[in-house]
Structure 1
Amino acid sequence: MSNLQGSLQIINWIVGLFVDIFRSIPFIILIVLILPITMKLAGTIIGPGAALPSLIISASPFYARMVESYFREVDAGVIEAAESMGASTWEVIMKVLLPESKPALIAGATVTTISLIGYTAMAGAIGAGGLGNLAYQDGFQASNNTVTLVATVIICLFVFIVQFIGDWFVRITDKRTR
């Protein structure tokens, strides 16, 4: 094994460790843990802008682990064929890995987007507003079940729409279903 390969394996292990750590932290706890970072980045710890660092830090490792999994599913024979024809690492990534895993990447982005919809509802805890905040403050805390129910139904509709669009894009990009 070359020094470069060894270095890349160490970097991969370290990045994987950080991904696993951040994936395992519940979102509401992550919001609180990174408040000092949020203050430096957004200049505030309340409001929609304050929710962005938490949303990015929670969604990125989640999607990164899915992408890694999708890339591993690409047939090794296809990668070897490209390499044997002289493709560089960059060409293998751009012309083999990404096209071959495109439907899975889109499906993963759909799942991540749906998770983010749920996370944004929880972000109401830091004053980010939105339907989650409405359901909690004007519904639950005000003992108004109708508001909670309507906000929940609207959130569910958003999820269904995102899932429908994601599934449609997967179907049109998946060469196995044509």
Structure 2
Amino acid sequence: MDEIQHWISTYLPNLKINVLGVETVNTLYMTIMSGALSCILGILIGIFLFLTAKDGEKENIPVYRILSFVVNIFRAVPFIILIILLFPFTKWLIGTILGVNAALPALVISASAFYARLVEIALREVDKGVIEASQSMGSKLHTLIFNVLIPESSPALISGLTVTLISLVGGTAIAGAIGAGGLGNLAYLEGFQRSHMDVVWAATLVILAIVLCIQVIGDTLVRCIDKR
């Protein structure tokens, strides 16, 4: 223990371990909360896009085009600009534009749009023969969705969620740089602004560790459920 403390004081003289721990928890909180909400919204929007598309179970081209346009808009807007544009909404919803909770609306909206498109793509890759077989047996819409579409596309859905969570980690870093807290806040305000590059490196390494953990967990889950 003494050797670790000596190493930290030698090579990371400006780093406060307790602060690093707090900001790591803040980053994990933003990632998990926004990831869970984005997963739910993304799946709902993605299914709706799939069903209302051409040749879909509930084909409605005008509705599909409008929703697809909205999704594309939120995917196209750079995240840091989206945060700024959503300041009034965030202020109304959360009561403040600072802190970890204030970052959630922008994170959820951005990630939901991104994941919704991945969900739509995953559902399009489901074997049409399986869908037609289910329909021929008189399956209702909810049965088709929960017993056919989601199970058959689950490997692609998990892969897409893995990519989305990793992008959310990057989003928390951007949000942190403008006052949301987390490792991005630590790297920018405590590290870069004060020329403490050891703090920047420490925050970066923790972010990389989080990203690698997400990737490993996602890849493992895909391998476990992929029937191919």
TM-score when normalising by structure 1:
0.93
User: Is the 1:135–1:147 contact (alpha carbons within 8 Å) kept by the matching residues of 2?
Assistant: yes
User: Is the 1:47–1:126 contact (alpha carbons within 8 Å) kept by the matching residues of 2?
Assistant: no
- Structure 1 Cα separation of the partners of residues 178 and 87 of structure 2: 10
Q: Which runs of 5+ in 1 are unaligned?
A: none
Could you tell me which amino acid in structure 1 is paired with residue 162 of structure 2?
T
Match of 1:73 among 112, 122, 125: 125
- Structure 2 Cα separation of the partners of residues 36 and 114 of structure 1: 27
- Deviation string, structure 1 residues 52-91 (Cα, Å, up to 9, x no partner): 1010111000000000000000011110111111111221
Secondary structure (helix, strand or coil) at the match of 2:167 reads helix
- Deviation string, structure 1 residues 150-173 (Cα, Å, up to 9, x no partner): 110110000000100111111111
Match of 1:14 among 35, 53, 66: 66
Aligned identity (percent) is: 57
User: Is the 1:51–1:126 contact (alpha carbons within 8 Å) kept by the matching residues of 2?
Assistant: no
Could you tell me which amino acid in structure 2 is paired with residue 137 of structure 1?
L
Residue 188 of structure 2 corresponds to residue 136 of structure 1? yes
Match of 1:155 in 2: 207
- Give the aligned length: 173
- Deviation string, structure 1 residues 95-141 (Cα, Å, up to 9, x no partner): 11000001111111111111000000111133111111111111111
Match of 1:99 among 146, 151, 160: 151
Match of 2:164 in 1: 112
Secondary structure (helix, strand or coil) at the match of 2:163 reads helix
Match of 1:169 in 2: 221
Match of 1:146 among 191, 198, 205: 198
- Structure 1 Cα separation of the partners of residues 150 and 65 of structure 2: 22
Could you tell me which amino acid in structure 1 is paired with residue 119 of structure 2?
V
Match of 1:55 in 2: 107
Could you tell me which amino acid in structure 2 is paired with residue 135 of structure 1?
A
Q: Which stretches of structure 1, 4 residues or more, deviate above 6 A after TM superposition?
A: none
Shift of 1:5: 5.2
- Structure 2 Cα separation of the partners of residues 46 and 101 of structure 1: 38
TM-score when normalising by structure 2:
0.73
Q: Which runs of 5+ in 2 are unaligned?
A: 1-53
Secondary structure (helix, strand or coil) at the match of 1:175 reads coil
- Structure 2 Cα separation of the partners of residues 80 and 146 of structure 1: 59
Secondary structure (helix, strand or coil) at the match of 1:127 reads helix
- Structure 2 Cα separation of the partners of residues 11 and 125 of structure 1: 37
Shift of 1:9: 2.1
